[in-house]
A and B are shown apart, each in its own frame.
Chain A
Amino acid sequence: MMASSYKDEDGHISVSGTGAGAGSLPSKKPENTAFKQQRLPAWQPVLTAGTVLPAFFIIGLIFIPIGIGLYVTSNNIKEFEIDYTGLDPSSPCFNCSQNFSWNSTKPCTCSIPFYLEQPYESNVFMYYGLSNFYQNHRRYVKSRDDSQLNGNEESLRKPSKECEPYARHDNRPIAPCGAIANSMFNDTLELFYSDPNGTKTQIPLTATGIAWWTDKHVKFRNPGGNNDNLTAAFQGTTKPINWRRPAYELDSDPENNGFINEDFIVWMRTAALPTFRKLYRIIQRRNTMVPTLPRGNYTLEVVYNYPVRSFDGRKRMIFSTISWMGGKNPFLGIAYITVGSVCFLLGVILLFIHHKYDNRNNNPDISSN
């Protein structure tokens, strides 16, 4: 340009307007890629009536049938529950709940009779339920040593600090250590069927198969590996303070003894909420012709070891049958039906509003020709 001579002669700046230097310099022009120029092909969804309203209807149409299905299934499941805490003086377990001491050697037993109105087909699952029991308390949850429970010898001798104050007792390490293990549920529940003709037969309860597979086979392992002699393996440790027996005497079956005792494993899987139930036994169906638990009178024999009154806890025993989706769960079905209906309704309302007030779609000729 003409007047560049007024600018460029001063020498100390080399950039000249006419690009004399441009030839020699490599061009700094940015690359012309879709990414750098922000021109990546893209899907640009718009919430139009054509997409949103059908979505609502579809959600509604999917949710309602599912909800109905769930509700029906849940309603077909039978569940029976007995509270045997013994708070009420009339309750058979009242005495046991009153005079409790951890150190008593004489177990207190009570038996609760009950009547099943309906026969229970197929396998029946027997749960114990605790209320107001804070298994999800932070200090409680962390009070365990998974390394010890996994059979680690070193942790067996030196339990983790997390277990405090249940790590050592009488200068000996506690196995299993920690508050969770220490507070293990130790009531014994036994079920007797009273025949209409008066005879009492004990119903066989299966104590295995109640824990998660990974817990039983991976997470929990007895110390000493495959050593059959658990007593030796637990040598030098002491039982948890509240326990009546050491860990290696929990069961006679070596596959269900020590840390891999399933009752213990089930207890160690802490509950999420202060009211919870845990699987206690399974009543296997033996004879396809006869219901597992026929209609009739039963007696629940409880060895009352586990005190809950001090903190307003409750203890329950629950029978339940199971469907494909698990136990009784009316909430899920109802929730699905509700959400489905609301979606459907919303769809209708929005459709109405859209037609009545919308000013955009009335004139789709926003583009011209």
Chain B
Amino acid sequence: MTVLKTLQEQWFPLPVPLHRKKKKTGSAGGRWEKRRTEEERKVKANDREYNEKFQYASNCIMTSKYNVLTFLPVNLFEQFQEVANTYFLFLLILQLIPQISSLSWFTTIVPLALVLSITAVKDATDDYFRHKSDNQVNNRQSRVLIRGSLQNEKWMNVRVGDIIKLENNQFVSADLLLLSSSEPHGLCYIETAELDGETNMKVRQSVSVTAELGDPNNLATFDGEVVCEPPNNKLDRFCGALCWRDKKYPLTNQNMLLRGCVLRNTEACYGLVIFAGPDTKLMQNSGRTKFKRTSIDRLMNTLVLWIFGFLVCMGVILAVGNAVWEKEVGSLFQSYLPWEPPVDNFLFSSFLSFWSYVIILNTVMPISLYVSVEVIRLGHSYFINWDRQMFCSQRNTAAEARTTTLNEELGQVEYIFSDKTGTLTQNIMSFNKCSINGQTYGEGTDRMGTQPKRLDFTPFNSLADPDFSFYDDKLLELVKVGDPHAQEFFRLLSLCHTVMSEEKSEGELVYKAQSPDEGALVTAARNFGFVFRSRTPGTITTTEMGRTVTYSLLAILDFNNIRKRMSVIVRNPEGRIRLYCKGADTVLLERLHPSNQELMAVTSDHLNEYGADGLRTLALAFRDLSEEEWEVWSESHQFADKATDCREDRLAAAYDKIEQDMMLLGATAIEDKLQEGVPETIALLSLANIKVWVLTGDKQETAVNIGYSCKMLTDDMGEVFIIGGHTVQSVRQELRRARERMVEMSRARDGEKREGMEGRAEACFMGNGFGGGPEGDGGGGKPLQGSSFPSPPSSFMDSISGEFGLVINGHSLAHALEADMELEFVSTACACKAVICCRVTPLQKAQVVELIKKYRKAVTLAVGDGANDVSMIKSAHIGVGISGQEGIQAVLASDYSFAQFRFLQRLLLVHGRWSYLRMCRFLCYFFYKNFAFTMVHFWFGFFCGFSAQTVYDQYFITLYNIVYTSLPVLAMGIFDQDVPEQRSLEYPKLYEPGQLNLLFNKKEFFICIAQGIYTSVVLFFVPYAVLSNSTQSNGVPLADYQTFAVTTATALVIVVSVQIALDTGFWTVINHVFVWGSLGSYFTIMFALHSQTLFRIFPNQFHFVGCAQSTLLKPVVWLTIALATAICVVPVLAFRFLKLDLKPQLSDTVRYTQLVLQKRRKPAGRSLGGVWRGAGSVSESRLGTRGGSRRSGYAFAHQEGFGELITSGKNMRLSSLGLASFASRHSSSWIETLRRKKNPHTPPSASGDSSPAPSRASGPVPPLSNSSSVLGGSQETPIEEETVTEARQDVPTVSCSFGQPAASGSARASPPDDLTSAAVRSHGTDSPGGWTLSLGTVQEALFGWKGTEVRVDASDNQESQHVAMETSQAE
């Protein structure tokens, strides 16, 4: 099975039901009838006959294309839809006509048959696996209510209108209307990770009338009818009504369970199938599968058309020549050579000759071109699969090229669209630091570089989560000592949240948090001895330092976006009432009691520090309430709660009233753990001119935070614009304002000297604005508007200097993506360096990608890990799936997959760049060699009466492309490297030629063709001039056809071999073997074909008997070949040398430098190796560059309203209530057992120190990515400090010189090498420390040269930080 699976993944990008929609009506109809577009859907429960009338799609999914019978015809039909195949088939037919046939039929049929059969085998394999996966999905079991009883049915037999029973942890099989559930109030919980990538749980509730229909018996009689919208792809919207017993109940998305969700925490539920199979929202959202082609492919197709045109032109010229010749000469020559029977005049003869020449000249574009391209891509794909540096050892996943057709496009990417959760981040929140009573805890490393110890909580607290890691033992000490502040701090964390707990067995706590942030905080409290055990609607049970305490929960003041805080009011066992509040520092700090001033200042500093580290911060506070205060407030709260109008506002006001005069406890800092190497990768990619956009379903705050922590958004940025409008008008205005600001700021930045240009840009931009204005009022009635301003994006872009960020919300994006706004959005967004779209739906993700594809004509790449990224992955030119995570949907839809985001840099900058380079070189050479080969026939036509006589032996023509010249060029196409891999990571600018498409475009193509034609002229006329009158030394003339053919062919093979030798930049053993082997095989095969043995067997097939030896033994022939070779190669050599000497590309310079370096290194030894020895101070410098900016990281990713659910008790299962009470009842005895166990041991207070955690000493602990991990740092700390500062001075110079490689060398002389050796070292190692190191390098390079005053930024930054902070908080 594993073998099959890997096979499947290799051959077949999409074996999952998602990708093809074929509607097949149910078994009743069995027809492939195309249904009329549905206006409205009517579904009646438990009434199959009624529902069958509408012929809704069944739940059966068909992704396969063929069956055994249809395979051959359908597959062949499909293959011959490929233009190339049809073309070659046509040629083959032509060749079968004797009057036309100028070549034997086998010259075409051999390669064609080969190509067809290989493709057919591949297609068959693919389809086999599709059948398998279809079957697997279709045959999943589900419990369907049929005639009053639950029966097991396969998924594919589920019909619209059926009622299905779902059990916990089951996948939802179709889009269901939730009817009832085992939970009270018809609630059920689902996880929608497969749909939108959000891992938190969501609540769905059934309509109250159906919720009461608890058991199957009642449901069997349920005959309600649902009238709803037709199938669509909107995941968050459903609109319909349920009619039952003459009453109408509105239905919303809250009542729906969508296919692909997983039922969680709910024993069972019943649902009515509304949409099935291809109609489900999941399938509707999966988007169309398009066969992806690379831009080189498209270019190649254009070129092939041109070549075909060229071919026709040549054919026409030669046919005209033939007409003239036959009229002038041929007709008179008939006494020796009569016309063949059907030919009776010169015109007909010329018509036939046209086709004959089409056959002969078709080798300008041979079928082997397509085969070779595929082989090369396959080779590149294997290199990606084999790359150890893209192997993730934690997940044991290697990178995988799932599509083998897109490799070279990886070298041309301009836009990357990335998902956030699971892609940039690990979706793991870790409690990283905290500030308690003005003391900060949790410093990861101490400065001396010793490995920090991970605290071991188990001796102190048996309920601790073993996975929790914290590195500061001071805090643990503090808690143990019983510091009231610390205790209150963690008590708050254990009480103030909406987490649910599940305790399967004693001590085995599992928290179900709506957001991972909360989970992290509660887990932290748990480990520090304040264990949240269970809750009921009115109580919270905790174990505080081993003592079970039950608080009564008086109120939850729930979180929402505006409040940015949440509070609980609890009464402790002693009866005191206390309000605990946690929230964004901005809102919380202004609600503190005045006495907190001093503490607030200190904490504020800490918060700044945390913010600078990219941590998500929360401030914590409490307030003691007297009984009276509580009574008064409680009343007002209840009043507000019961209010019918403006309930929200009233509640907010009530909450606001009590959350005052609080006492500050401290602050927490949570790290939304980025995946390893994310900031470095993004920095490197942006140095390579690749723009990274983050498209996330997550909340704006979270997204912005991540934007900062992965260095997409930086404090150096001019401004970060936030587009959050809810109407078309406001979005338009916001976009416009953003652009105005940009123009303004870049003008201010550039000063007066560029004013003229700005004016123009603004005029252009204003023009655009005016164009859009009236139209917006008119409701978007002018579809042509876009075309009247085709260029604004680019011209606007050019005028913007400086860096800007753009954050846009999902609902704004919906407006921005409307037809008349697209252009405005694109022009604004593309002017920004970083764009973050939050709260976007899967389809919107795809739309954004499509938008960029449409307007920017750039190559796009989408990275994602979840099912919500599938559509984006599919619509981008290249889709990359992060594998090894939860779902595999994204991976299955992707073209490439690997385990970590950071591998992207290697995929693009190393593999992509090489692939592009190789493919371009391959194509250039390939067209060259075929033109050189074929055009000789054209020249010969003038000397052979335009009779379509070939110059070469037919075997040579057959074998030229397959054998004699295929392997060297394949070797070049697979193995060539212009610069080593480290260099392409070091000089990201090397990536640019790919984006600008410099290496193979129409101009390059014409150059190749011109060179090819030049070569063909030389190859024909030099032998012509030499041989026509010459004789060999025995007097026999040399100008016989066969000698001429052998001479020209040999010269051709030698010339193209010399040319490939010139083109190959990286001579591995394989290249040598192939180049020399091809030459050798040419001579061997020629001698064999010209041998007497073969002639004796087939005298009619091998006319050239004895020709090889008699020709090649003659010195004149060799002199001719040498002459032709020299004439062909010398100009090329001179031209290349001049180009290299006068206008070297960056890659040439790097390559040259490398050469010089190698020469030096030999005598000098490895003196350059040890410049960068460690990274002890890198983290320092990292913090330094970032300066301190505080982003209130109130990152509750959950919905509001959960608190209400808890207090109402709606979501409390009876069983869990029982469990809670059980736990509290038995907890005392449980604690006693615990104590008994501990007694023989050391007392808890001392345990922290005495147990040295032996596991840590031996096993390497993966360092936190933000803590400055040390790479051999403990050895020579002082030196490191020095070298780092040195490097800091150097790096900006380097970055400058990237832009102008031709600048005089002295400025650039020294730094690259330092950088080089450093990066070599760091990339060479696998350890994350290496990444941190290169982070320093790259960051310095990136941020260092943006502003001229890197070091003076402290004061400057402060202001811009405040601006940034305020903007980010504005929403």
Contact = CB atoms under 8 A, between A and B. Distances in A.
Contacts of A146: 1099-1100, 1103
A310 B1155 contact: no
Contacts of B337: 134, 137, 139-140, 143, 179, 183
A183 B383 contact: no
B1119 A141 contact: no
B904 to A, nearest CB: 18
Interface in B526-564: none
A363 B191 CA distance: 64
Contacts of B69: none
B624 interface: no
Given A10-B262, A37-B386, A324 B1033 contact: yes
Interface in B413-434: 426-431
A275 B1067 CA distance: 45
Contacts of B383: 36, 38
A49 interface: yes
Contacts of B340: 139, 164-165
Contacts of B785: none
Contacts of A25: 396
B1133 interface: yes
A272 B1044 contact: yes
Given A2-B431, A5-B465, A353-B1138, A322 B1026 contact: no
Nearest to B979: A44
A69 to B, nearest CB: 10
Q: Which of B397, B1040, B1106 has the most CB of A within 10 A?
A: B1040
B981 interface: yes
A7 B429 CA distance: 12
Contact of B1126 (A11, A134, A343): A343
B336 A183 contact: yes
A160 B1032 CA distance: 33
Interface string A141-185: 101011101101000000010001100000000000001001100
Contact of B944 (A4, A56, A136, A339): A136
Given A1-B430, A353-B1141, A134 B333 contact: yes
Nearest to A313: B333
Interface string B1147-1171: 0110111111100100000010000
A214 B1105 contact: yes
B943 interface: yes
B427 A7 contact: yes
Nearest to B170: A12
A310 B1005 CA distance: 47
A13 B1151 contact: no
A329 B1030 contact: yes
A52 interface: yes
A327 B1030 contact: yes
B348 interface: no
Given A45-B1067, A327-B1031, A354-B1141, A335 B1123 contact: yes
Given A7-B886, A30-B387, A147-B1100, A17 B394 contact: yes
Nearest to B1152: A46
A147 B1095 CA distance: 9
Interface stretch (B175-183, B269-277, B511-519): B511-519
A328 B1309 contact: no
Interface in B994-1046: 1022, 1024-1045
Contact of A218 (B431, B673, B1092): B1092
Nearest to A16: B395
Interface stretch (B708-716, B792-800, B1298-1306): B1298-1306
Contact of A139 (B947, B1110, B1123): B947
B465 A38 contact: no
Interface stretch (A113-121, A196-204, A276-284, A296-304): A276-284
Interface in B1029-1078: 1029-1045, 1065-1071
B981 A40 contact: no
Contacts of B1110: 212-214
Contact of B387 (A37, A139, A183): A37
B388 A279 contact: no
Contacts of A342: 1130
B1156 A214 contact: no
A76 B834 CA distance: 80
A320 interface: yes
Interface in B753-770: none
Contacts of B1151: 44, 46
B50 interface: no
Nearest to A36: B386
A48 interface: yes
Contact of A274 (B397, B944, B1036): B944
Contacts of B1028: 272-273, 275-276
A364 B1311 CA distance: 14
B945 A269 contact: no
Interface string B364-378: 000000000000000
Contact of B169 (A12, A307, A310, A357): A12
Instruction: Determine chain A's interface SS by DSSP, over half rule.
Output: loop
B639 interface: no
B467 A15 contact: no
A215 interface: yes
A182 B333 CA distance: 13
Interface residues of A, number: 128
Contact of B943 (A22, A49, A136, A364): A136
B1279 interface: no
A286 B426 CA distance: 99
Interface in A16-53: 17-19, 21-22, 25, 27-32, 36-38, 40-49, 52
A366 B1308 contact: yes
A29 B388 contact: yes
B396 A359 contact: no
Given A125-B1035, A368-B1314, A30 B388 contact: yes
A2 B455 CA distance: 13
A259 interface: no
A358 interface: yes
A219 B467 CA distance: 86
B1068 A42 contact: yes
A138 B1152 contact: no
Nearest to A33: B386
Contacts of A219: 1095, 1099, 1105-1106
A207 to B, nearest CB: 13
Contacts of B520: 2-3
B1033 A9 contact: no
A48 B356 CA distance: 46
A3 B886 contact: no
A323 B262 contact: no
Interface string A300-320: 000000010011100000001
Contact of B465 (A2, A43, A134, A214): A2
A22 B1155 contact: no
A193 interface: no
A61 interface: no
20 contacts: A1-B467, A3-B428, A5-B465, A6-B516, A15-B395, A22-B394, A41-B1069, A47-B1136, A56-B1130, A63-B1126, A134-B329, A139-B337, A146-B1100, A179-B338, A273-B1044, A327-B1035, A343-B1126, A350-B1138, A353-B1142, A367-B1157
Given A12-B262, A282-B1035, A360-B1152, 9 more contacts: A1-B467, A15-B395, A44-B1065, A138-B102, A214-B1106, A310-B332, A329-B1030, A331-B1026, A366-B1153
| 9 nearest CB pairs, A to B | A214-B1106, A368-B1310, A272-B1044, A327-B1031, A36-B386, A363-B1305, A125-B1035, A138-B947, A138-B949
Interface of A: 1-7, 9-13, 15, 17-19, 21-22, 25, 27-32, 36-38, 40-49, 52, 55-56, 59, 63, 66, 70, 123, 125, 127, 132-141, 143, 145-147, 149-150, 152, 160, 164-165, 179, 182-183, 209-215, 218-219, 269-279, 282, 307, 310-312, 320, 322-329, 331-332, 335-336, 339, 342-343, 346, 350, 353-354, 357-360, 362-369
